[in-house]
């Protein structure tokens, strides 16, 4: 939930450029977070690595209920 840190990923995680060579590879995350709404939680649907280096993780963003 630390959006500010995510926006600063190039400084905080300088090797992330290997996984996200251009911001167009990373910025869709913010669209998904905004669409999910405040307080949404990410749940893994799939954790897959292809060819030894290509991560194909899939997530579902779901609202966190107050009853939980």
Q: Convert the pLDDT of each residue in 26-40 to its tens digit.
A: 788 888 888 888 888
Q: Decide: pTM greater than 0.85.
A: no
Cβ(24)–Cβ(3) below 8 Å:
no
Q: Give the torsion sign (CA, 40, 57, 14, 29).
A: negative
Least confident among 11-15, 25-29, 62-66 = 62-66
């Amino acid at each position: 939930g630390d959006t500010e840190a995510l926006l600063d990923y190039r400084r905080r995680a300088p090797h992330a450029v290997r996984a996200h060579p251009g911001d167009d590879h990373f910025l869709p995350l913010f669209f998904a977070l905004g669409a999910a709404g405040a307080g949404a939680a990410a749940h893994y649907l799939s954790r897959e690595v292809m060819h030894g280096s290509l991560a194909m993780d899939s997530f579902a963003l779901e609202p966190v209920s107050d009853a939980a």
